[in-house]
Amino acid sequence: MKSVIKPIAIFRFSPGCGPGYFTAFLDARAIPWTLFAVDEGITAPTDLSLYSGFAFMGGPMSVNDDLPWIPPVLQLIRQAIAHDAPCLGHCLGGQLISKALGGAVTTNTVKEIGWHPVCVESSPTARDWFGADWHRWTTFQWHQETFAIPVGAERILTGDACHNQAYVIGKSLSMQCHIEMTPAMIVDWCQDWEKENASLGSPTIQKPEQMLSEMPENLLTLNRVADQLYTKWLEGMLV
Protein backbone atom coordinates (compact mmCIF):
# COMPACT_ATOMS: atom_id res chain seq x y z
CA MET A 1 0.00 0.00 0.00
CA LYS A 2 1.30 3.41 -0.91
CA SER A 3 1.34 6.15 1.69
CA VAL A 4 -0.77 9.27 1.65
CA ILE A 5 0.96 12.51 0.76
CA LYS A 6 -0.59 14.54 3.56
CA PRO A 7 -1.60 13.64 7.12
CA ILE A 8 -5.03 12.50 8.18
CA ALA A 9 -6.72 14.96 10.54
CA ILE A 10 -8.24 13.18 13.56
CA PHE A 11 -10.72 14.97 15.81
CA ARG A 12 -11.09 13.97 19.47
CA PHE A 13 -14.04 15.38 21.40
CA SER A 14 -13.54 13.71 24.79
CA PRO A 15 -10.31 12.63 26.54
CA GLY A 16 -11.45 9.01 26.92
CA CYS A 17 -12.69 8.70 23.34
CA GLY A 18 -9.46 8.83 21.39
CA PRO A 19 -8.63 7.21 18.06
CA GLY A 20 -7.49 3.96 19.66
CA TYR A 21 -6.94 1.17 17.14
CA PHE A 22 -7.28 3.60 14.23
CA THR A 23 -3.95 5.28 14.93
CA ALA A 24 -2.32 1.90 15.57
CA PHE A 25 -3.53 0.90 12.10
CA LEU A 26 -2.12 4.09 10.58
CA ASP A 27 1.21 3.85 12.41
CA ALA A 28 1.70 0.26 11.25
CA ARG A 29 1.46 1.51 7.67
CA ALA A 30 3.58 4.65 8.21
CA ILE A 31 0.62 6.88 7.40
CA PRO A 32 0.94 10.33 9.03
CA TRP A 33 -1.82 11.79 11.15
CA THR A 34 -2.50 14.91 13.22
CA LEU A 35 -4.70 14.94 16.32
CA PHE A 36 -7.03 17.88 16.94
CA ALA A 37 -7.97 17.64 20.63
CA VAL A 38 -11.21 19.61 20.51
CA ASP A 39 -11.78 18.71 24.18
CA GLU A 40 -8.66 20.75 25.00
CA GLY A 41 -9.85 23.79 23.06
CA ILE A 42 -8.02 23.04 19.80
CA THR A 43 -10.04 24.46 16.91
CA ALA A 44 -10.74 22.81 13.58
CA PRO A 45 -8.31 23.69 10.77
CA THR A 46 -9.42 26.17 8.15
CA ASP A 47 -7.12 24.96 5.37
CA LEU A 48 -8.49 21.55 4.39
CA SER A 49 -5.92 21.18 1.62
CA LEU A 50 -3.27 20.31 4.23
CA TYR A 51 -4.92 16.94 4.92
CA SER A 52 -5.78 13.84 2.92
CA GLY A 53 -8.79 12.83 5.02
CA PHE A 54 -10.74 13.65 8.16
CA ALA A 55 -11.62 11.23 10.97
CA PHE A 56 -14.07 12.04 13.76
CA MET A 57 -14.14 10.06 17.00
CA GLY A 58 -16.78 9.46 19.66
CA GLY A 59 -17.85 11.34 22.77
CA PRO A 60 -20.53 11.46 25.48
CA MET A 61 -22.18 14.64 24.20
CA SER A 62 -24.95 14.98 21.61
CA VAL A 63 -24.52 16.61 18.22
CA ASN A 64 -27.69 18.52 19.14
CA ASP A 65 -26.06 20.14 22.17
CA ASP A 66 -25.32 23.86 22.09
CA LEU A 67 -21.53 23.54 22.05
CA PRO A 68 -19.34 26.18 20.36
CA TRP A 69 -17.17 23.68 18.47
CA ILE A 70 -20.05 21.84 16.76
CA PRO A 71 -20.93 24.39 14.01
CA PRO A 72 -17.30 24.73 12.80
CA VAL A 73 -16.91 20.94 12.70
CA LEU A 74 -20.16 20.55 10.76
CA GLN A 75 -18.98 23.18 8.29
CA LEU A 76 -15.63 21.43 7.89
CA ILE A 77 -17.42 18.15 7.15
CA ARG A 78 -19.61 19.78 4.52
CA GLN A 79 -16.61 21.38 2.86
CA ALA A 80 -14.58 18.17 2.94
CA ILE A 81 -17.30 16.06 1.36
CA ALA A 82 -18.08 18.76 -1.20
CA HIS A 83 -14.41 18.58 -2.26
CA ASP A 84 -14.45 14.76 -2.30
CA ALA A 85 -12.12 14.46 0.70
CA PRO A 86 -12.80 11.23 2.64
CA CYS A 87 -14.43 11.58 6.05
CA LEU A 88 -14.63 8.82 8.67
CA GLY A 89 -17.04 8.89 11.60
CA HIS A 90 -17.10 6.74 14.74
CA CYS A 91 -20.37 6.93 16.76
CA LEU A 92 -20.58 10.65 17.63
CA GLY A 93 -18.37 11.25 14.59
CA GLY A 94 -20.84 9.41 12.39
CA GLN A 95 -23.68 11.44 13.86
CA LEU A 96 -21.78 14.66 13.14
CA ILE A 97 -21.39 13.65 9.50
CA SER A 98 -25.08 12.81 9.26
CA LYS A 99 -26.15 16.12 10.78
CA ALA A 100 -23.71 18.05 8.57
CA LEU A 101 -25.38 16.48 5.53
CA GLY A 102 -28.93 17.23 6.66
CA GLY A 103 -29.70 13.97 8.46
CA ALA A 104 -31.51 13.99 11.80
CA VAL A 105 -29.86 12.64 14.95
CA THR A 106 -32.47 11.41 17.44
CA THR A 107 -32.83 9.28 20.55
CA ASN A 108 -32.77 5.57 19.74
CA THR A 109 -35.54 3.37 21.12
CA VAL A 110 -33.04 1.73 23.46
CA LYS A 111 -29.53 2.40 24.71
CA GLU A 112 -26.86 0.02 23.40
CA ILE A 113 -23.84 -0.76 25.54
CA GLY A 114 -21.48 -3.67 24.99
CA TRP A 115 -21.01 -6.36 22.37
CA HIS A 116 -23.87 -6.75 19.88
CA PRO A 117 -24.29 -8.39 16.47
CA VAL A 118 -24.61 -6.41 13.24
CA CYS A 119 -25.35 -7.49 9.68
CA VAL A 120 -23.81 -6.33 6.41
CA GLU A 121 -26.36 -5.26 3.81
CA SER A 122 -26.66 -7.43 0.69
CA SER A 123 -25.70 -4.72 -1.78
CA PRO A 124 -22.76 -4.17 -4.13
CA THR A 125 -21.71 -1.10 -2.13
CA ALA A 126 -21.72 -2.98 1.17
CA ARG A 127 -19.77 -5.86 -0.36
CA ASP A 128 -17.27 -3.41 -1.83
CA TRP A 129 -16.55 -2.06 1.66
CA PHE A 130 -16.70 -5.30 3.66
CA GLY A 131 -15.34 -7.73 1.10
CA ALA A 132 -16.55 -11.30 0.75
CA ASP A 133 -15.76 -12.49 4.29
CA TRP A 134 -18.00 -10.36 6.48
CA HIS A 135 -21.77 -10.88 6.72
CA ARG A 136 -22.68 -10.93 10.43
CA TRP A 137 -20.28 -10.12 13.23
CA THR A 138 -20.17 -8.70 16.76
CA THR A 139 -19.23 -5.08 17.26
CA PHE A 140 -18.87 -2.77 20.25
CA GLN A 141 -21.61 -0.28 21.07
CA TRP A 142 -21.96 2.59 23.52
CA HIS A 143 -24.68 5.02 22.49
CA GLN A 144 -28.17 6.35 23.12
CA GLU A 145 -28.75 8.34 19.92
CA THR A 146 -28.95 7.26 16.30
CA PHE A 147 -28.41 8.96 12.95
CA ALA A 148 -30.63 9.07 9.90
CA ILE A 149 -29.15 8.14 6.53
CA PRO A 150 -28.55 11.42 4.67
CA VAL A 151 -29.83 12.00 1.15
CA GLY A 152 -27.38 10.51 -1.33
CA ALA A 153 -25.88 8.05 1.17
CA GLU A 154 -26.33 4.27 1.31
CA ARG A 155 -26.63 2.12 4.42
CA ILE A 156 -24.18 -0.79 4.48
CA LEU A 157 -24.61 -2.14 8.03
CA THR A 158 -27.65 -2.77 10.21
CA GLY A 159 -28.39 -3.86 13.78
CA ASP A 160 -31.43 -5.26 15.57
CA ALA A 161 -31.73 -2.61 18.28
CA CYS A 162 -30.40 0.27 16.18
CA HIS A 163 -31.05 -0.19 12.48
CA ASN A 164 -28.67 2.40 11.03
CA GLN A 165 -25.19 1.16 11.92
CA ALA A 166 -23.10 2.43 9.01
CA TYR A 167 -23.48 4.23 5.70
CA VAL A 168 -21.26 5.51 2.93
CA ILE A 169 -21.49 8.58 0.77
CA GLY A 170 -18.84 8.83 -1.92
CA LYS A 171 -15.47 8.18 -0.26
CA SER A 172 -16.80 8.78 3.28
CA LEU A 173 -17.85 6.22 5.90
CA SER A 174 -20.02 6.89 8.96
CA MET A 175 -20.52 4.33 11.70
CA GLN A 176 -22.73 4.20 14.77
CA CYS A 177 -20.67 1.40 16.27
CA HIS A 178 -17.13 1.58 17.65
CA ILE A 179 -14.56 -0.33 15.60
CA GLU A 180 -11.69 1.71 17.07
CA MET A 181 -11.75 0.08 20.50
CA THR A 182 -8.68 -1.16 22.35
CA PRO A 183 -8.55 -3.20 25.59
CA ALA A 184 -7.55 -0.10 27.57
CA MET A 185 -10.44 1.93 26.15
CA ILE A 186 -12.98 -0.77 27.00
CA VAL A 187 -11.68 -1.09 30.56
CA ASP A 188 -11.78 2.69 30.94
CA TRP A 189 -15.32 3.00 29.61
CA CYS A 190 -16.53 0.19 31.87
CA GLN A 191 -15.52 2.33 34.84
CA ASP A 192 -18.18 4.84 33.74
CA TRP A 193 -20.91 2.22 33.43
CA GLU A 194 -22.79 3.39 36.53
CA LYS A 195 -22.98 6.93 35.12
CA GLU A 196 -24.99 5.59 32.19
CA ASN A 197 -27.89 4.59 34.48
CA ALA A 198 -27.42 1.27 32.77
CA SER A 199 -28.48 -1.12 35.53
CA LEU A 200 -31.98 -1.54 34.13
CA GLY A 201 -31.86 -5.16 33.00
CA SER A 202 -32.16 -4.26 29.33
CA PRO A 203 -30.94 -6.96 26.88
CA THR A 204 -29.15 -4.24 24.92
CA ILE A 205 -27.04 -3.21 27.92
CA GLN A 206 -24.23 -5.45 29.09
CA LYS A 207 -22.64 -5.20 32.50
CA PRO A 208 -18.90 -4.50 32.72
CA GLU A 209 -18.01 -8.06 33.70
CA GLN A 210 -19.80 -9.39 30.62
CA MET A 211 -18.13 -6.89 28.30
CA LEU A 212 -14.71 -7.72 29.69
CA SER A 213 -15.22 -11.49 29.58
CA GLU A 214 -16.25 -11.31 25.92
CA MET A 215 -13.52 -8.83 24.99
CA PRO A 216 -10.63 -11.18 24.07
CA GLU A 217 -12.53 -13.07 21.37
CA ASN A 218 -14.68 -10.21 20.07
CA LEU A 219 -11.83 -7.72 19.93
CA LEU A 220 -9.90 -9.97 17.53
CA THR A 221 -12.87 -9.90 15.18
CA LEU A 222 -13.33 -6.17 15.66
CA ASN A 223 -9.70 -5.50 14.72
CA ARG A 224 -10.05 -7.58 11.55
CA VAL A 225 -13.19 -5.71 10.53
CA ALA A 226 -11.46 -2.40 11.30
CA ASP A 227 -8.53 -3.42 9.10
CA GLN A 228 -10.94 -4.12 6.24
CA LEU A 229 -12.89 -0.88 6.58
CA TYR A 230 -9.92 1.38 7.26
CA THR A 231 -8.05 -0.10 4.28
CA LYS A 232 -11.03 0.51 2.02
CA TRP A 233 -11.40 4.06 3.37
CA LEU A 234 -7.75 4.80 2.64
CA GLU A 235 -8.27 3.88 -1.00
CA GLY A 236 -10.15 7.15 -1.37
CA MET A 237 -7.01 9.17 -0.69
CA LEU A 238 -4.03 7.07 -1.73
CA VAL A 239 -1.97 8.07 -4.76
Strand partners, 218: none
In 3D space, the residue among 73, 74, 14, 78 whose CA is nearest the CA of residue 44 turns out to be 73
Q: What is the pTM of this model?
A: 0.95
Strand order in the sheet with 172-175: 33-37, 8-12, 53-56, 87-90, 172-175, 166-169, 154-159, 105-120, 136-147
Instruction: Note the pLDDT of residue 239.
Output: 47
The Cα–Cα gap between 206 and 141 comes to 10
What is the mean pLDDT, run by run of 10 residues, along the chain of 239 residues? 76 97 97 97 93 97 97 97 96 98 96 96 96 93 97 97 97 98 97 73 88 96 97 86
The Cα–Cα gap between 236 and 210 comes to 37
Instruction: Note the pLDDT of residue 1.
Output: 46
Instruction: Note the pLDDT of residue 194.
Output: 79
Instruction: Note the pLDDT of residue 198.
Output: 59
Instruction: Note the pLDDT of residue 200.
Output: 61
The Cα–Cα gap between 47 and 29 comes to 25
> Which domains, and CATH codes, for the chain?
8-234 (3.40.50.880)
Instruction: Note the pLDDT of residue 161.
Output: 94
